[in-house]
Amino acid sequence: MESEAKYTYNLDNIFKLASQCNVHYVLAGTLYLRGTTRKHFFDFIEKVFPDEKEGIHRIYNTGGADKD
Protein backbone atom coordinates (compact mmCIF):
# COMPACT_ATOMS: atom_id res chain seq x y z
CA MET A 1 0.00 0.00 0.00
CA GLU A 2 1.43 3.37 -1.01
CA SER A 3 0.50 5.26 2.17
CA GLU A 4 2.03 2.55 4.38
CA ALA A 5 5.34 2.96 2.55
CA LYS A 6 5.10 6.72 3.02
CA TYR A 7 4.51 6.35 6.77
CA THR A 8 7.33 3.83 7.11
CA TYR A 9 9.69 6.24 5.38
CA ASN A 10 8.60 9.03 7.76
CA LEU A 11 9.10 6.82 10.80
CA ASP A 12 12.54 5.79 9.61
CA ASN A 13 13.48 9.45 9.32
CA ILE A 14 12.08 10.24 12.77
CA PHE A 15 14.13 7.44 14.33
CA LYS A 16 17.29 8.52 12.49
CA LEU A 17 16.84 12.10 13.70
CA ALA A 18 16.11 10.90 17.22
CA SER A 19 19.33 8.89 17.18
CA GLN A 20 21.28 11.97 16.10
CA CYS A 21 19.79 13.82 19.09
CA ASN A 22 20.95 11.07 21.49
CA VAL A 23 17.46 9.73 22.16
CA HIS A 24 17.92 6.47 24.08
CA TYR A 25 14.55 4.84 23.42
CA VAL A 26 11.21 5.43 21.72
CA LEU A 27 7.93 4.26 23.18
CA ALA A 28 5.31 3.96 20.46
CA GLY A 29 1.68 3.25 21.10
CA THR A 30 -1.81 3.46 19.70
CA LEU A 31 -3.84 6.63 20.11
CA TYR A 32 -7.15 6.25 21.90
CA LEU A 33 -9.32 9.10 20.74
CA ARG A 34 -12.20 9.87 23.07
CA GLY A 35 -14.23 12.97 23.91
CA THR A 36 -12.77 16.37 23.11
CA THR A 37 -9.37 14.83 22.30
CA ARG A 38 -10.97 13.08 19.33
CA LYS A 39 -12.48 16.32 18.03
CA HIS A 40 -9.23 18.29 18.40
CA PHE A 41 -7.23 15.51 16.74
CA PHE A 42 -9.52 15.30 13.70
CA ASP A 43 -9.74 19.10 13.42
CA PHE A 44 -5.93 19.14 13.27
CA ILE A 45 -5.83 16.35 10.68
CA GLU A 46 -8.40 18.11 8.49
CA LYS A 47 -6.43 21.36 8.65
CA VAL A 48 -2.87 20.05 8.26
CA PHE A 49 -3.29 16.72 6.44
CA PRO A 50 -6.55 16.98 4.47
CA ASP A 51 -5.48 14.30 1.98
CA GLU A 52 -4.98 11.80 4.83
CA LYS A 53 -8.26 12.57 6.62
CA GLU A 54 -10.34 9.77 5.14
CA GLY A 55 -7.79 7.03 5.83
CA ILE A 56 -7.19 8.20 9.39
CA HIS A 57 -10.94 8.34 10.04
CA ARG A 58 -11.16 4.71 8.88
CA ILE A 59 -8.34 3.63 11.18
CA TYR A 60 -9.78 5.42 14.21
CA ASN A 61 -13.46 4.83 13.47
CA THR A 62 -14.04 3.23 16.88
CA GLY A 63 -11.71 5.50 18.88
CA GLY A 64 -8.63 3.30 18.67
CA ALA A 65 -6.78 1.50 15.91
CA ASP A 66 -7.37 -2.23 15.49
CA LYS A 67 -4.54 -4.60 16.44
CA ASP A 68 -4.07 -5.43 12.76
pLDDT band at 1 (very low <50, low <70, confident <90, very high): very low
| Structural domain total, the chain | 1
pLDDT of residue 28: 78
Residue 68, domain member (yes or no) = no
Residue 66, domain member (yes or no) = no
Structural domain boundaries, residue 45:
2-59
Residue 46, domain member (yes or no) = yes
Residue 42, domain member (yes or no) = yes
pLDDT of residue 7: 59
Q: How far is 47 from 44, CA to CA, in rounded Å? A: 5
Q: Which residues pair with 64 in a beta bridge?
A: 32
pLDDT of residue 6: 61
- Residue-wise pLDDT for 5-62, tens only, equals 565 567 888 889 999 999 998 887 878 888 899 999 999 999 998 999 998 888 888 7
